[in-house]
Amino acid sequence: MGTLYLVRHGQASFATDDYDRLSEIGARQCERLGEWFREKGVAFEAVITGTLRRHTQSLEALARGHRSELNALAMPGLNEYDAESIVRAIHAAPLPRPQTAGDVRQHFRLLREGLLAWMEGRTQPAGMPSFERFAAGIVEALDHVRTHHSGDVLVVSSGGPISTAVAHVLGAPPPAIVELNLRMRNSALTEFAFTPKRHSLVTFNTLPHLEGAEASWVTHA
């Protein structure tokens, strides 16, 4: 039986002109996760990532902490949805860049509503695939792991794909995917046990590498 470690990227650059890059703390989160894997003696049989910059930067930081060269297979099916497009599909009027706590609450309220509308097929956000196609890319990655590997496998992706993977394994409906997604923390670890036939959920959204760290190290966006 193998273990699939699904890692959400480190903190990115929320409320800036370019979200798709790690913040300084995001790099530190992932480097500490690499150290944790090294301390546990985990050596990866394979590494898979999405193709977004925050995915590759997270893996680079994790590799520094692991003190190893982690060569990855890039799978676009592990990329995140476009949050702005999701929101625009239900709220066409321009929104200010989130600056205050109220702005952030409004953003995530609209994102929750937009995600559910997309998943239930009530909207088709511009430039986005249907949710069925989005989910198919994630299932393809899971099937690849089952059919090609039997040891420890690392996946670095985003909250949307990881929550969709968990829901796929559990048979959970769209509202559960949205709630799982919006609870996920940066650099959080989710574990599946897998055999050639199936994946099974072991842990979700854990931060063992940040135990004892300052509260500011625990982030969500």
Distance CA 109, CA 107 (A): 6
- DSSP characters for 141-175? HHHHHHHH--SEEEEEE-HHHHHHHHHHHHT--HH
pLDDT at 17 over 90: no
For residues 85-93, average pLDDT = 91
Taking domain 2-80+129-217, whether its CATH number is 2.70.70.10 is answered by no
pLDDT at 96 over 80: no
E-assigned strands of 13-124? 46-49, 73-74
pLDDT in tens, 135-179: 999 999 999 999 999 999 999 999 999 999 999 999 999 999 999
Ordered by start, the domain boundaries in the chain are: 2-80+129-217, 82-127
Q: CB-side exposure of 120: number of CA atoms within 13 Å?
A: 12
pLDDT at 97 over 90: no
Query: Cα dihedral angle (94, 96, 97, 100), rounded to 10 degrees?
Result: -150
pTM for this prediction: 0.95
Distance CA 154, CA 170 (A): 20
